[in-house]
Amino acid sequence: MQVVCLDLEGVLVPEIWIEFSRRTGVAGFSRTTRDEPDYDRLMRFRLDLLAQHRLKLSDIQRVIEGMGPMAGAREFLDDLRARYQVFILSDTFYEFADPLMRQLGRPTLLCHRLEVDADGVVRDYRLRMPDQKRAAVNALKGLNFQVIAAGDSYNDTGMLMAADAGFFIHPPESIVAQFPQFPVTRSYAELRAAIDSAAQALRG
């Protein structure tokens, strides 16, 4: 049996923090896991920026409500789900994701949570578990599934390494250069074909 694991931001939906940066005019929020491989360092940087600019969870959620999936993402995901079980493995937060999950047909999402005080100020973040994408892939393999995975950033590479087959989709060239072992796809059509080819090869 085979499952597909996909990253969310940069793969199916635009990067939330980049859009938040554009809307607020705070350039620092545009820094993402494509730029910073240390997720804790990145999140501490974001939390400091939120505090500095007195921005709350509601400010982020207001931006997310105006966002939608990337062009063709819903159709791509619907096609995959018709033929495979699909898990979205993301380092986003449940407090962010609901409007986007609704537009994607509510696929199964595994991500993290924010710690928010009574005034709506984001005080901290809580990982569901460390390196959760790799752990999820290994758990699925332990249940006798063959896993095919795709992502675009540093924080996806553990998942891609653990999977039976792993692919990049429109990653930055700086990451491609560091991880040349993962085939690169540049469109949903290319990724769909790569997944199907890998699935066939794994079935033998």
User: In Å, what is the CA distance from 19 to each residue of 11, 25, 29, 33, 106?
Assistant: 15, 10, 9, 14, 22
7 annotated active-site: yes
114: Cβ contacts below 8 Å, ≥ 6 apart = 57, 93, 95, 122, 124, 125, 126
* C-alpha–C-alpha distance, residues 145 and 163, integer Å: 10
95 annotated active-site: no
Active site residue ranges: 7, 9
